[in-house]
Amino acid sequence: MIRPHGSSELKPLCVPPGPAHQAGLERAAGMASVMASSAGASNAVMLGAGYFTPLGGYMNREDALSVARTMYTRDGLFWPVPILCLVDERPDVQAGNPVAIRDPNVPGNPVLAVIEAVEIETLSERDMDEICFEVYRTRDTGHPGVGEFLAQGRILLSGSLQVFNYSYFKTEFADTFRTAVQIRQAIEAAGWRTTVAFQTRNPMHRAHEELCRIAMARTGAQGCVVHMLLGKLKPGDIPAEVRDAAIRKMVECYFPPNTMMITGYGFDMLYAGPREAVLHAIFRQNMGATHFIIGRDHAGVDDYYGAFDAQTIFDDSVPQDALEIEIFRADHTAWSRKLEKVVMMREAPDHVTEDFVLLSGTRVREMLSAGISLPEEFSRPEVASILMDHYRNPGTG
């Protein structure tokens, strides 16, 4: 099986159930604590689940700036996005001592993790500005990722981490949330030698469905892991439970058994376009995928990035030997009226725009809200029904 990034084995930081876990929580109850931001908490979940192998904890200022500027840590590890714990209040603890990280997303704010020997630094406005510009390619606070990053605070906590749970992800998404360790084990148990990973923060319409088939056929993959983001999104995005139901219905109705694996991961969306695409590739390698689909405007938002910047970054900024996972580069995919099937648009040079069934996200939302069925060439009726129910009864999903 493909090796994890930068390591011969996965390095999950979550303490497994047992005496050490109980002792760790009892110890944490007696130490100084600080409330994490949602982003800091989701970073802890990803570290705990092994997705961020080989990192051993949160990055300090020097590593954060090094990663932002060069996509390498000071020790020479290729990494595209700083993994941070930023807070707005300094914890009542001396540097070098342990500090408990509390979870902002769970009632009662239980301890999520412990930084064993905390380093405490304050990022300057210039530091924050530089990280924003390098990672997000903009300083515009209207960008949802930039806005969330700047709202966390400027006090940076770093150090090696022990994680004690997976926040709300394991309880609210028990059938879907999986650690990198679990997905590797499932791929191995399925006997898949070649595995495609598909990232989604949206429901899967016919174009996405067919894109998975195309990628599997062209790579010779035995299976595809649909790996959906379960964390925080910008307002207006479809809730995870609705996406989950829609994707499960599509797989149940339209894919052969034992070819698709439906999973999710506990991370807040960054909307960082190209840099986030590289991060996505790293943690898909860590979970055992050999190929990763990157399509048009991957991890993008509005018009902050070019349509295929998330693909070209692998040519321009990712060294050839930095990653083992292979990128499957996809074009915009849509139903061809001429060919009566879904195709990648660049592979239909004799077509004009009118030859494709194309609907904007706004138009899709308008139709579903009005109870108007989506064209079957665009969305499977079973999927559209679930989405229509959500838009017409938003409080239930």
What would the pLDDT profile of 262-293 be if each residue is shown by its tens digit?
999 999 999 999 999 999 999 999 999 999 99
- Taking residues 165-186, report their average pLDDT: 97
The residue that leads in pLDDT, 81 or 240, is: 81
Kindly state whether residue 366 falls inside one of the protein's structural domains: yes
pLDDT higher than 60, residue 397 = no
β-sheet bridge partners, residue 156: 86, 121
Alpha helices (H) in the chain, listed in sequence order: 19-29, 38-48, 61-70, 125-136, 144-151, 169-172, 180-190, 206-219, 240-254, 274-286, 309-316, 361-369, 381-392
pLDDT bracket for residue 135 (50, 70, 90) = very high
The residue that leads in pLDDT, 237 or 91, is: 91
The pLDDT, as a whole number, for residue 202 is 86
The pLDDT, as a whole number, for residue 52 is 98
- Looking at the whole model, is its pTM more than 0.75? yes
pLDDT bracket for residue 361 (50, 70, 90) = confident
Choice among 56-60, 230-234, 282-286, 359-363 with the minimum mean pLDDT: 359-363
The pLDDT, as a whole number, for residue 237 is 80
pLDDT in tens, 57-77: 999 999 999 999 999 999 999
The pLDDT, as a whole number, for residue 395 is 61
One domain, residues 57 and 160 = yes
Residue 292: φ, ψ to 5°: -135, 125
One domain, residues 194 and 326 = yes
Residue 169 corresponds to which amino acid?
Answer: F
The pLDDT, as a whole number, for residue 44 is 98
User: Distances from the Cα of 143 to the Cαs of 32, 146, 150, 302, 313, in angstroms?
Assistant: 34, 5, 11, 8, 20
Mean pLDDT of the chain: 95
- CA–CA gap between residue 71 and residue 49 (Å, rounded): 22
One domain, residues 69 and 210 = no
pLDDT in tens, 39-48: 999 999 999 9
Kindly state whether residue 376 falls inside one of the protein's structural domains: yes
- Residue 202 among the catalytic residues: yes
Last residue within a domain, chosen from 167, 201, 233: 167
Domain of 44 in residue numbering reads as 19-167
- Asked if residues 1 and 35 have their Cβ atoms less than 8 Å apart, the reply is no
pLDDT bracket for residue 362 (50, 70, 90) = confident
Biggest alpha carbon distance in the chain?
Answer: 69
CATH of the domain at 311: 3.40.50.620
Kindly state whether residue 253 falls inside one of the protein's structural domains: yes
One domain, residues 244 and 160 = no
- CA–CA gap between residue 292 and residue 107 (Å, rounded): 36
pLDDT higher than 60, residue 309 = yes
Kindly state whether residue 14 falls inside one of the protein's structural domains: no
One domain, residues 181 and 108 = no
One domain, residues 116 and 156 = yes
The pLDDT, as a whole number, for residue 396 is 52
pLDDT bracket for residue 29 (50, 70, 90) = very high
One domain, residues 150 and 250 = no
The pLDDT, as a whole number, for residue 60 is 98
One domain, residues 211 and 234 = yes
One domain, residues 162 and 181 = no
Instruction: Please tell me what DSSP assigns to residue 65.
Output: H
Kindly state whether residue 247 falls inside one of the protein's structural domains: yes
Kindly state whether residue 13 falls inside one of the protein's structural domains: no
Last residue within a domain, chosen from 129, 149, 167: 167
From 27, 102, 154, 201, the catalytic residue: 201
Q: What's the structural domain count of the chain?
A: 2
From 3, 102, 154, 202, the catalytic residue: 202
Last residue within a domain, chosen from 167, 193, 220: 167
Kindly state whether residue 136 falls inside one of the protein's structural domains: yes
pLDDT higher than 90, residue 364 = no
One domain, residues 157 and 198 = no
One domain, residues 319 and 295 = yes
Residue 86: φ, ψ to 5°: -105, 135
The pLDDT, as a whole number, for residue 136 is 97
pLDDT higher than 80, residue 394 = no
Kindly state whether residue 10 falls inside one of the protein's structural domains: no
One domain, residues 40 and 73 = yes
- Residue 61 among the catalytic residues: no
